[in-house]
Structure 1
């Protein structure tokens, strides 16, 4: 399993805990439109949980440029590899 696959597994746990709509299966193309309950409030909680797990902070630009799970995993890889 590569690093991005592991991150997606970790994100699945975070999303499932926060959104609480049953099991969630993320893939790189997943967007907020694909998941019931992924609203703006949950989005903030998800980002906060990711920051806590990986011990970094997102920049406003990074948050604004997120389009899908692949964008999110790329930022996590970049920030945890630095």
Structure 2
């Protein structure tokens, strides 16, 4: 599953709206609860685990992409939309 699809599913938005610059301020449904749901969905989809420090650092979709790329998921090679 692509990152855009995971994010779009959790936040109930169109995958085309999922860009690296998207933040809680620009995605209306990005609440604290959905933030945790996103982490759980990402961990399941990519087979990784995030530390609490990493989770607190997710301030944008770009931050999420970089964290996943750092874990060798190949997410940095896929197009968002």
Q: Is TM-score (shorter-chain normalized) higher than 0.5?
A: yes
Matched, 1:51 2:43: yes
Pick one of 18, 24, 29 that aligns with 2:21: 29
RMSD: 1.8
**Structure 1 or 2: larger helix share?**
1
Task: Identify unmatched segments of 5+ residues in structure 1.
Answer: 1-8
CA distance 1:19–1:68, shift in 2 (3 Å): closer
Matched, 1:62 2:79: no
Which residue is equivalent to 2:34?
Answer: 42
Aligned residues: 72
Structure 1 ranges of 4+ moved more than 3 A: none
Deviations 1:38-70 (A, max 9, x none): 111111111100001110100111111222111
Q: Highest Rg: 1 or 2? A: 1
Stretch moving more, 66-75 or 11-20:
11-20
